[in-house]
Amino acid sequence: MKKRAVITGAFSYTGSAVARQLVNRGWTVHTLTNRERPAGAERISTSPLRFDEAHLKNELEGADVFINTYWIRLPWGEQTFDTAVERSKMLFRAAKMAGVSRVVHVSVSNASAGRNLGYYDGKAAVEEALRRSGLSHAIVRPTLIVGPNDVLTNNIAWFLRHFPIFPIPGGGDYRLQPITLEDTARIIVSAIEDSSDVEVDAAGKTVFTFKEYVRLLARACGVRRVVIGVPATLVLLALRGIGGILGDVTLTKEEFLGLDQELLISHESPRGEESVENWLMKNGESLGRRYRKEIHRHFGEGSTMAVLNPGTDPE
């Protein structure tokens, strides 16, 4: 009999790549999402990601594995990192009540090292809740995931395409270790098909300084730009103004602090196999053509539209 996976976000970013690999490996996939099903994803059944324990338990019944990608990038409206922690715990409780055999949770690199950063503190709390749940589990901690339809790398490319100078907050000597989307999904699928309690990073082979990464993106987009270090407070202030004009949050202070504290690097042997540089050079032509609005995609009208449906991609 086919194994059944329930996953959050199969029509969004990371979850879509995981769902695709699972379907290709013969799994039955059911997703919890508030997005419409895109063309080509007919084999994935769907139900709303509604934070009601009875509903979630019902949807999780009969699953061999539950893959949790749910999180918020930043607090917005009534959604805070505290509410995201509570919702994540509810998902785990529902999985346990439904008798799910295994939970694979997508966290972030150095989840417990980002002290006083809401994103990381919240991630650490969710990891701990899963460890204490008594469920068979895996925790996969990606660094920065690079792939089609990503927000962060795409928007750096958008800035590079539109402005002659790229001011780097704090100089950009801090390092990051990005990984491709397909590699991330492969590592998550391997954790799904494992049966032991494991905690692994998902990081690529190459460590870049942020400045090197921006220069690589400029090369990938085929533009020559002046990349200069500027005090972080000035860049963040300017980004707040630009965000106001774009109707978005471009980069939060906490995200900058996470970068500056080098939380997007791994201290394990890299599991990524695909070269991020090659991926960017190959896909540079499509990067940054349109600015992608985080707020629209996750908190606004775009939150019901499939991210991977080119016909309806609203951004």
Residues found near ligand NAP in the complex (CB under 6 A): 8-9, 12-15, 33-35, 49, 69-72, 79, 106, 108, 142, 144-145, 298-299
Q: How far is the CB of 110 from ligand NAP (least distance, A)?
A: 10
- Written as one letter, the residue type at 287 is L
Q: How far is the CB of 55 from ligand NAP (least distance, A)?
A: 15
Phi-psi sector, 248: left (phi>0), alpha (psi -120 to 50), beta? beta
Beta carbon nearer to ligand NAP, 69 or 252: 69
| Cα separation, 23 vs 43, whole angstroms | 8
Identify the CA nearest to 11 among candidates 303, 297, 307. Answer: 307
Q: How far is the CB of 119 from ligand NAP (least distance, A)?
A: 7
Q: Is the dihedral of CA 27, 148, 295, 258 positive or negative?
A: positive
The residue whose Cβ lies closest to ligand NAP is 9
Beta carbon nearer to ligand NAP, 79 or 209: 79
Q: How far is the CB of 306 from ligand NAP (least distance, A)?
A: 9
Beta carbon nearer to ligand NAP, 35 or 296: 35
β strands within the chain, DSSP E? 4-8, 28-32, 44-47, 65-68, 102-106, 136-142, 145-146, 165-169, 175-176, 179-180, 198-202, 208-209, 226-230
Beta carbon nearer to ligand NAP, 241 or 290: 290
Beta carbon nearer to ligand NAP, 230 or 261: 261
Q: How far is the CB of 17 from ligand NAP (least distance, A)?
A: 8
- The residue behind tokens 């600015």 is 291
